[in-house]
Structure 1
Amino acid sequence: MKAAVIGAGWAGLAASIALREAGAKVTVFEAGHTPGGRARRVFHESFEAPLDNGQHLLAGAYRHTLALMRRVGRNPDALLMRRPLRLASLDGRFRLSAPRLPAPLHMAVALFSARGLSWADRYAALRLMRGLKAMSWSPPRDWTVLQLLHYHAQSDALI
């Protein structure tokens, strides 16, 4: 069997690996200069360090992505720079930093020390995490993120 995969982003690469493991002869077509799609480093003359374009895809929390890296002989611990989670709004009103503590304690401390969240929002975020854990971190596939957030009664401020 022959297969063509259009795009060498993470989805295209994952499909290519699965097809190859199933015995197909795979050809990957990619318009960009490097594989990885949106998940790659970008160099720009205005910045000293490279920019991480795609950290939302490779935050190190996606077990399927980490498993895929291992399937092709790569060690995620050696390739990914693990940093504590830090989020901030551009206007400075919201700030969240997760300390280096075991999960889920790190997120509880982050939520309770965050700036810019009401106590009701902090409780709602904890409720969301409890709900996701109860779902084994796998909400229904046909749900959008917005549906998931509404299901767990998240406020407009959190959304």
Structure 2
Amino acid sequence: MPPEPRTASGAAITFFVLAVLFGVLGLGSLNSDDDGRITDTAYRLGYDYGSFVLSAILLGIGLAVHARHRSRRSATADRWPRTYDQWQQLHQVWRATWLCRRCRVTFLPAAALRPDSDASPAIPVPRFLPWAADTAQQDHRPGTPTTSG
């Protein structure tokens, strides 16, 4: 089964969450009062704004990871399924399909997806993935509700 399409990568989400956490930590450090104990200007700037700088760096890394994920996903945009709904259609066909290990074929039994659907012909295992994608893409595939009009 092809993997479920995702809209965002887990790594990018992790970087975004860390950026927000360090931003909140930076806001907390601005509110703290040190009673003038820190006299070094560079140390004071790092103490006050270091969390914001780290937050900006993490945000930039997260945006770069997300952009790479999107470019990789758009490079495979000609492949099907592209959306979660399309993936669910393919998953429905995948789950209803039976495999005969002895014969090395797959098939949809009669009424596997819909009560009035016919059995499919035997499909050799190497041709199963393209057949399942074609079957799931059809508007009149087994299991889709029919509209009378």
> TM-score normalised to the size of structure 2?
0.20
Q: Higher relative CO (CA 8 A, sep ≥ 6), structure 1 or 2?
A: 2
> TM-score normalised to the size of structure 1?
0.20
**As a proportion of its length, which structure holds more helix?**
2
Q: Give the structure with higher Rg (CA).
A: 2
